[in-house]
Amino acid sequence: MVEIKNPLYDTACLSTQALHADAHLQVTSDVAPAISVSTTFEYAKTTVDACNYGPDQRYAYSRESTPTTTKAESVLSTITEGHAVLYGSGLTASLAVLLQYKPKKIALGESYFGVRKVIEQYRALVPNVQVVGSECSYDGVDLVWLESPVNPTGEVKDIAAYALRAHAAGAVLVVDATLAPPPISYPFRQGADVVVHSATKYLGGHSDLLAGVVVVRAATGAVALRETRYVLGLGTGSLETWLLLRSLRTLSVRVKQQSATATRLVSFLESIRRSAIATQCHKPCEEQLSLGRHIASVQHASLQINGAQCNPNIALQHPNGFGAVFAVSFASKCQALFVARALGLHRFATSLGGVESLVDWRYGWDSSAQPTLLRISVGLESFDDLAKDWKQALQALEVSERKAAKL
């Protein structure tokens, strides 16, 4: 086996890296990676002295690692510009970060409800851990947990600004970049110390595997993470690891396409909403006017680069698009649920990042979410079909609202 990674792969483009950054780990002539299901690996008989068997060999027991894990981590490390360690889920990865850094005072930004639950579990285990908001003073803070883009709104945080504040206080900046995998964002470039991904979402991309990734800048950090993963058995199963490696091959085309379609859809829905509130609107846009009148707001990073919210760092942070998750809020909870059910192409289900478009009512999971908000995860359907789906769902809402008004 050629153990040395071809240095070409470090300078290649993402789409090339995703296909070849594990080629040096291939032991057979198979072009597609083989799935490795063995939990145990034979000790070498030739190189080992009698009193000291096996400690220098690469694989011994699968709780530690497997050949497929190494391959997936090689690709993940190359594309995320760090040292990647793979876990059984995004939340397991989040727990691993807490176990590694053992923070005493956490500054926590808006974040996925599951991450908040993991932090609660950690606090139940470790006494006297304080949690403050990410906008509070970082006095005494040793870990800042930021999510960007934020689930469920798809809005972006200025990572560079948080990195400055965190580092001034001597704190570690962790960025959960689940909603913006490469090539959408590279948080180390803005100063993040640790990057977390739920690989269940875009990295896996097909709604068929649970996994998570922690990426650190230094190889030594990855060694410590792997030791805890081994002891606690926090890693992925064989099938998931293999599915992930296979899915990473198409990451770049999937994510760029999903992000571009989402941005078009956001602009389409935002223009419908705006035309509904434009007072000078006459006959030709009457249909659009009534369609958009129930939309209270559309949220997405692409809407943050213009107008009052505009921050030049955000455009820099997102050189290849803004991600494929956005939020649409309605005047009432019932309207939101009506639209979630009326959408036909968008499956009404939780999760995000898969090849099929999904709509989720986050309040059902997270009582801190607005009950009027729908989270949309855009898949690989065509923009025209998704826009048509929205039009028919909003039309159905309009018909239902008019009927109710007449009763």
Ligand X SMILES: *Cc1c(COP(=O)(O)O)cnc(C)c1O
Q: In this chain, which residue has its C-beta nearest to ligand X? A: 90
- The span from the CA of 376 to the CA of 300, in Å, is 10
Distances (CA, A) of 96 to 48, 72, 74, 298: 33, 18, 19, 34
| Residue closer to ligand X (CB basis): 181 or 292 | 181
Q: Which class for 399: exposed (0-12), middle (13-18), buried (19 or more C-beta within 10 A)? A: exposed
Contact residues toward ligand X (CB under 6 A) are 89-91, 112, 114-115, 147, 151, 176, 178-179, 198, 200-201, 210, 212
Instruction: Find the shortest distance in angstroms from Cβ 299 to ligand X.
Output: 15
Task: Output the smallest distance, CB 282 to ligand X, in A.
Answer: 43
The total of other beta-carbon atoms located within 10 Å of residue 99's CB is 18
Q: Which is nearer to ligand X, 90 or 221 (CB)?
A: 90
Output the smallest distance, CB 101 to ligand X, in A. Answer: 17
Q: What is the DSSP letter of 6?
A: P
| Residue 362 C-beta: closest distance to ligand X, Å | 11
Q: Which is nearer to ligand X, 198 or 372 (CB)?
A: 198
Residue number, 67 or 212, with CB nearest to ligand X = 212
Give least dist CB 58 to ligand X, A.
27
For residue 88, what are its two tokens? 């059984």
**Which runs of consecutive H residues, i.e. helices, occur in 278-367?**
286-292, 312-317, 333-342
Q: Are 177 and 202 in contact (CB under 8 A)?
A: no
CA dist 175 and 115 (Å) reads 12
94/257 with CB nearer ligand X: 94
Structural contact between residues 330 and 401, judged by C-beta atoms closer than 8 angstroms: no
Give whichever of 259 and 335 is closer to ligand X, judged by the CB atom: 259
Find where tokens 């030049």 sit: 312
Q: How far is the CB of 136 from ligand X (least distance, A)?
A: 21
